[in-house]
Each structure stands twice: as C-alpha cells, then as structure tokens.
Amino acid sequence: MQFSGGMRKKLRLGGDQRKASYPHSLQFYLEPPSENISLIEFESLAIDRVKLLKAVENLGVSYVKGIEPYQSKLENEIRRLKFSFRESLEDEYEPRRKDHISHFILRLAYCQSEDLRRWFIQQEMDLLRFRFSILPKDKIRNFLKDSHLQFEASLPERIAVGFELQ
C-alpha cells in the first residue's frame, strides 16, 4: 500500500458554490460532511471544537447566559478560535466549514456514553442559542425559512426572544 499525502488535491469551490454550501452561520447539522480531510486537520478541528465547547461550558457557569459579559466573552472566544458566528463577515466559507466538520467529529467522539452525549448536546444547544440570539431579524427569518420552519413571533420587536413552531 502506498500513501502519497503530497499528491492529494484539495477541493476548491467557486464563490457561488461556497455560499451554497453554508448559506447561514447557523446550522442544524443535518448532512454530514462528505469531503476528505487529512488526519492533522481532523485532529486540529476536533481540538478547536472541544476548546469552544469548554469555553461555552465555563462561561455558562461563570456568567448568566444571555447577559452582556457572557455574550461578549463567548463572541471573543468564537472569534479567537476562528469559528463562524456572524452573518455579515466577508468570506465565511472556511469558518462555517470548520464549524460543520468539527461538529460531526465531536458528535462521533462524544457518542460513547450517555454522560458524554448529554454534555455535548448541552454545550451545542447553548452555542446555538447564543448564535441565534445575535442574528438580525431578517437573517432569522431567512434561516427559519431555509430550514422549512414556520413560526409566529411572540414579540414583534424581538423575534429572537421567542417564536412558536407550527
């Protein structure tokens, strides 16, 4: 058997294809990634995701979720680890790709026991809640529409606070 790491070509997508791959900074992670990645990148993505979820956990213990210090510290941590969290950034393909692939790596790693699964799901829910709370109203509508979720806003001026699925 012969492995030639130097000969591997990296998949490059054009502008429209890249945007179509990850149209929103939020994801429900319905489709697993289908590209080949190196073992080094696999490990790096997993480590960064664990760091992010540990930060979510630690900040959730240290601060009340949703208040300004929690929000700003979590935003700084997401930015530092180069994960996707804002819709308005120029080229979001790499951070969104990183988010997508790393989620599935940890989903696989943390399915070994009920305690690990619970911890993983709780941190991912807190991360989704944070990301959802910082989205502008129009981006929330687009995300929910693209996700085939119908809703009615419970408070017209603050859609991110509450909505009912029909």
Copy the structure tokens of residue 120: 């993983």
pTM of the model: 0.73
Residues 123 and 145 in one domain: no
Residues 125 and 69 in one domain: yes
Residues 126 and 112 in one domain: yes
Going by their DSSP bridges, the two strands 151-153 and 163-165 should be labelled as antiparallel
Residues 74 and 103 in one domain: yes
Number of compact structural domains in the chain: 2
pLDDT in tens, 5-51: 444 444 444 444 455 566 556 677 778 888 899 999 999 999 999 99
Residues 104 and 148 in one domain: no
Q: How far apart are the first and last CA of the chain?
A: 55
Residues 53 and 104 in one domain: yes
Domain that holds residue 159: 136-166
pLDDT in tens, 58-104: 999 999 998 999 999 999 999 899 887 665 555 678 888 898 999 99
